[in-house]
Structure 1
């Protein structure tokens, strides 16, 4: 028995089981490539600002997601040379504006949602998102809702972003949930001059169950055997040699 056995045992225990902290959502960074060409706004010649007015077209850049009103949503593709929005995405190259208006002075509401499943042993979820707003003025809010069928079972408070133009802030939230089928719904509300609610890098992770970082019994047994074997080897090495003389 040698110390190498201990290293193998510990490595096996640490790598056993599924990956931890996997995102339960598809396309949380909105990186899927649209088939339509990017549209450039006048005054933003180097920017890439893409808007899809029809549900069928919207599905091309948000696969996995369902927009409540696709006609008021935009996809931004970095680098963006448009002073009202961040020039780069919080993650990857693309991000979504949930609601926009060419008028201002009105309140806009829109949602984006996706189904997810909590596996056996789940005790809840951890949620995070990068949030921004178009103009930097106060007034735009983002809220997280969890639905079971048509029933609202959990919701966050209202998130706001006060960092100004060109910035992102991370919002996080946790909720207790049992195993089952759910829908994540993000609600963006623009107010006055703060039209857009910008989102990127949406993450949802299961708490408990299959994603627990606690080793399973078989892994513990392997680790214990490794420690015992290593201890025996060390004791033999430390034992003084017997004299061969009378």
Structure 2
């Protein structure tokens, strides 16, 4: 089970940790009551008052201090004494996804996002790209829901690069996968002057009510009328159309333009 270990005198922060654990299915463990050597903690996350930093010099898991300790040199996050549930979520989400160690201020609460990203055909770094695109979504979604959004978004960006910009057909992918030459096919396409400089443009708009992500590639598009309206469990194991199916499990709507090179993903914020 995922756990948050904490050692703090801040009753308000203890309450926020408890609320987070209840919402996300984590276990909360009070190090002031449990006799656990912090250096023995191998899995989970730690939140502690900065004045206790000497007790955590040998920890191997992500740690957030309430205040900035002067004598602690290992990378850490900083929460201030007014930290709320959202700041605990920001710490956990960032730590889970290899985010940059940073101060998390309780005076900063994101209410609305609207931005435009342009990415290259770096299909081998999709996970990092998706994290950078969605790291602020933690202000709007539970982490468990955010992880699902990332899975669906990853599939759709992969489609935009693979089938859109690189124009790899379903038949080509199936044949290359069956013959263990898929990465050779990818590298061939990535080096082709016709495809290598193409970009994928991603537009994001999110508020307290709705998330909308628009993905536009430079490919020829496809016949969107062939997208299946209903799916069986067997479809999850097929290479062709699997990405759209997975995304449809985690978004409320998936809408394509007529050409098939622009897709809009919509999810309600609940």
| Fold-level similarity (TM above 0.5) | no
Larger radius of gyration: 1
Identify which of structures 1 and 2 has the higher relative contact order when contacts are C-alpha pairs closer than 8 Å and 6+ apart.
1
Alignment TM class, shorter chain as reference? under 0.3
- TM-score with structure 2 setting the length: 0.23
